Structures are given as structure tokens and as C-alpha cells.
Amino acid sequence: MDTPNPSVRSSAGASPAPSAHPQVLLTLDDLTQDLIWPRLFRAASVALSPSRLCMGILLAVVLGLLIRLFDWLADRTVGGDASAAPVARLERHVESIIDPIAAFNAPAAAAALYHLVIRKPAMLLIDHPLAMLVAVPLIILAIAALGGAIARSAAASFAAGSYTPWPRALGFSLGRIGSLVGAMLALPVAAWLICLLLAIAGWMLLNLPVLNVIGGLAYGLALIAGLVAFMLAAAVLLGGPLVIPAVVCDGADAIDAAQRSFAYVIGRPLRLAIYALILFGLGVAACWLVAWAAHGAIEFAGASTHAWVTPPADAPAPGWMARQTGELIRLWTLLALIAVSGYAISYFFCASTILYLAIRRVSDGQEMSDLSPKAV
């Protein structure tokens, strides 16, 4: 006779047996963990880190002082001509290339790119050599040092989830300052050299009656060289933000960083443009919110603290202490406004770093969480 198993209940009052495959609730992170573009939206929060924000504020202050130095030196060069403020007109030159691209005007866009990357720097060097030789190298060094520090800190936070103190991040970028500066200059210098060689060849072959025929026959080679220079100039605009992340993420030297940037622009232009547009739109929204918060703090603090401050109409001119109080208030207000620029700078380098890791993942198949041992 079989002995009944006490672990088996009758079907009348039995409770359902536990499933061998328990249900798993899917989250949004589970659905998007293999996608790249949703990770781009972390750039706004990564840029808001206090250490990266402070380095962005410091870089904003340094760049502001160096730009004033550039304009002052340029003004001295032209004998006090107020129209010589080339750095102050940089926004207009950038718009001159954006508008033709938006209008799908290829000839105007190509001419604007040549003017912005090739002709304008040459004109500045000829017209304002002191400003170009003194202020511009200092600007490049400041961007390389502090921008590299922000990018290094952002890479460690985004890729490895680790915190990098600002002295360590700044020391990292200073230790690789040669590679950072070289990477920033490699692409534009290469484009300048090709255009300079073309100018020399044109002067030699297109001026004399006999040689100009040879120059005309060989003009096809000039078109090929012009195409290379155009691609390098386009890489300056599209891939320029990638060179500093290439150094801090992969430990690349100057040439390798420039080559990586150029290869990503040429190899994945559409994907790079899409990711860049996403980050640009996010940056505009994030910077507007930060600016709104800063102006809100200024408005609420100013209106509230002065609500009951009503000096009499016949009060004498403010004394020394009142004037100093006003200067201190203006200083704090200016610092709040500079913080907006600091966040924009921090966002630019954080977004550039995330963009580099994303396009590297698409092009090379390397995980976005991978950092080269050379960059540790």
C-alpha cells in the first residue's frame, strides 16, 4: 500500500505551487540600457557637480580676463580704433556659417568655413600680431588645463561612477598639457599648412605667362588638396570638441587624438551630428534653467532684502560704508551671473566627453564605461 506524501495536498484546498520562473518587472533603465542616446541626457546633471561647476566658473573668469587682454592689445595695435575688438565679434562669425548651412546654401557655407577657420585667424595675426602671440596662447593653455580637468572628472563620473577631486583632475590635465594643447592645434594647423602651400603654389604657377599654363593643368591637384583642407576645417568644427576627451579618456597623444577626432567625423558624420544636436538642445534647455534660477535668486534676494530699506528723500549722498556695501552686493550679483557661464562651460566639456564616449562606442564597439589605463 502506498504511503501518502504529506507534502502533497488535495486539489480541493491546495494553494498554488510557486512558479519556477518568477515574474520580473521591467524598468525604463532595463529597456534603455543597451541604447546609447538616452545616456546623453546625463550630461546636464554631470555638469552640475560642484567641483566641475567651480572649475567652469574659474575658466569663465580666466577667459573673460584674457579676452579683455586680447581686445586691449588689439586696440593698442590699431591706435585706439574702437572697431578692433575681433574676439567680441566671434559670435557674428559663427553665425555666418550656421545660417548658410541651415539654408542649405553650400557655396556660402564653404566660403564661411574658409573665412572662419583659415582667413580670419590669418587676418588677426597680420593685423594684431601682439594680441595673437600673447593672449591666444594663454587662452589655449587655460582651455587645455581647466577644460581637460573638467573632461577628466566627467569621464570618471560618467564611465566609472567615481568621484575625482578637482586638485587631482587639474593635476591630471596639467600632466598632459602638451598632448591637450597639441590635440587642440593639430587639425587647424594642418588645414592652415595646406592652404599656405596652395597659396605659395598659386603665387609661383599662376603669375607668370608660361607657368600659369602648367598651373592650370595641375589645378586638379589643387582641388584634391583643397578637399583635404576643407575636411580638416570641417573636422575642426564638428570634431574639435572630441580631441580633449580623446586625451583624457584614452590617454591619446596629440596626433592620435586628432586622428581619432577626424576619423569619427568622416566615419560616422550622421550619428555624430544627431548626438551633437541632442546634446545641444539639452544644453540650451539646461543653461536656460540655470540662468532662470540665477536671475530668480537675484530678483528674490534683491526685492526681499530691500523691501523695508527706504532711505529718506532728503538723505545725503551715501557714505563710504554704504558705497562699499553696494559694491559687495554687486560683486555677489556678478558672481551669480558668472555661475551661469561657468555651468555652460562645464556642460560643454561634460557633453563633449559623453559625445566622445558615445561615438567611440558606435565606431569602435568599445564600451562607454571603458577608460584606458593610460588615462588613469
Q: What is the pLDDT of residues 121-158, one digit of tens each?
A: 888 888 888 888 999 999 999 999 999 999 999 999 89
Q: What is the pLDDT of residue 109?
A: 82
**Which is more confidently placed, 59 or 102?**
59
Q: What is the pLDDT of residue 337?
A: 92
**Which is more confidently placed, 17 or 322?**
322
- The pLDDT tens digits for 276-328 are 999 999 999 999 999 999 999 999 998 888 888 766 555 566 677 777 888 88
Q: What is the pLDDT of residue 92?
A: 59
Q: Read off the pLDDT band of 26 (50, 70, 90).
A: very low
Q: What is the pLDDT of residue 82?
A: 40
Q: What is the pLDDT of residue 30?
A: 46
Q: What is the pLDDT of residue 76?
A: 74
Percentage above 90 pLDDT, the chain: 46
Of 73-87, 170-184, 216-230, 262-276, the range with the lowest mean pLDDT is 73-87
Determine contact, residues 180/253, Cβ cutoff 8 Å: no
Q: What is the pLDDT of residue 71?
A: 85
Q: What is the pLDDT of residue 298?
A: 92
Of 57-71, 102-116, 266-280, the range with the lowest mean pLDDT is 102-116
